[in-house]
Amino acid sequence: MKRHLRLGVNIDHVATIRNARGGRHPDPVRAARLAAQAGADGITAHLREDRRHITDDDIARLMAGIDLPLNLEMAATEEMLDIALRHRPHACCIVPERRQERTTEGGLDAAGLSDTLRPMVDRLAGAGIRVSLFIAPDTRQLDAAKALGAPVVELHTGSYADADGVERDHELERLRAAAAHAEAIGLECHAGHGLSFDNVAPVAAIPTVVELNIGHFLIGEAIFGGLDSTIRRMRSLMDLARSEAAGGMSA
């Protein structure tokens, strides 16, 4: 059976550019509205502890100003939990966060951090928020996410995106195996990090992955091609890969 593959557009780096000068331009909310018109199924934003890109005000304006579901990426802290419970976005993706990192470098240790994560998952889910855990494509982490009661996992595709040749094949195989295991144990499976026009197709072709979250490449490429056509091209590459994997049937 072929399932629709959702595209979540991460608009963090629109805010990065805005913050380089202060002020309001370019506005991530405007980018989110444009992404919706270009075929995004959701908007993703990471409110980091240091507020280096998305701000608290952006989250409030996104909640009020867009029709698409908002996926709030957040560290497992009390501060972020309070913010999430105040805004009640459609989804929260819990990610590991270190101040010095440039981006989210690894997956969450769902297995090792269960005492911290369990009450968080419970409280977010209790507020009607769909909780996902951003983890490495690793059976142990998937089983831990399931045991914590998270309905969704997002597989970190960074190692796949950074690898070449045989190593990339190996990383893709890990993603495929993890996505199959997620389905087998009843978890909804998303994926993201480092995806681009050049590497998205094999991930989009994995039939049990139902959502890709893509940010840095889309916002960077939009400098050259415009946000609308960049998102449309990503959407069509994803759809093509999915339809070819399902035997060439149209979506």
> What residues are annotated to the active site?
46, 73, 193
- Please report, in angstroms and rounded to a whole number, the separation of the first and last CA atoms in the chain: 11
Q: In degrees rounded to 5, what are phi and psi of residue 143? A: -65, -35
Residue 194 Cβ vs ligand PXP, minimum distance, rounded to whole Å: 5
Residue 134 Cβ vs ligand PXP, minimum distance, rounded to whole Å: 4
Q: Mention every residue, 6+ apart, whose C-beta is less than 8 A from residue 236.
A: none
Q: Residue 74's beta-bridge partner residues? A: 94
C-beta closer to ligand PXP: residue 100 or 250: 100
Residue 45 Cβ vs ligand PXP, minimum distance, rounded to whole Å: 9
d(CA 216, CA 9): 9
C-beta closer to ligand PXP: residue 194 or 248: 194
Residue 107 Cβ vs ligand PXP, minimum distance, rounded to whole Å: 9
C-beta closer to ligand PXP: residue 53 or 181: 53
Q: Are strands 91-94 and 70-74 parallel, antiparallel or unpaired?
A: parallel
* Cα–Cα nearest to 158, from 208, 207, 103: 103
d(CA 194, CA 100): 19
C-beta closer to ligand PXP: residue 104 or 141: 104
Q: Site residues (CB under 6 A) for ligand PXP?
A: 10, 12, 46, 73, 93, 95, 103-104, 134, 154, 192-195, 213-217
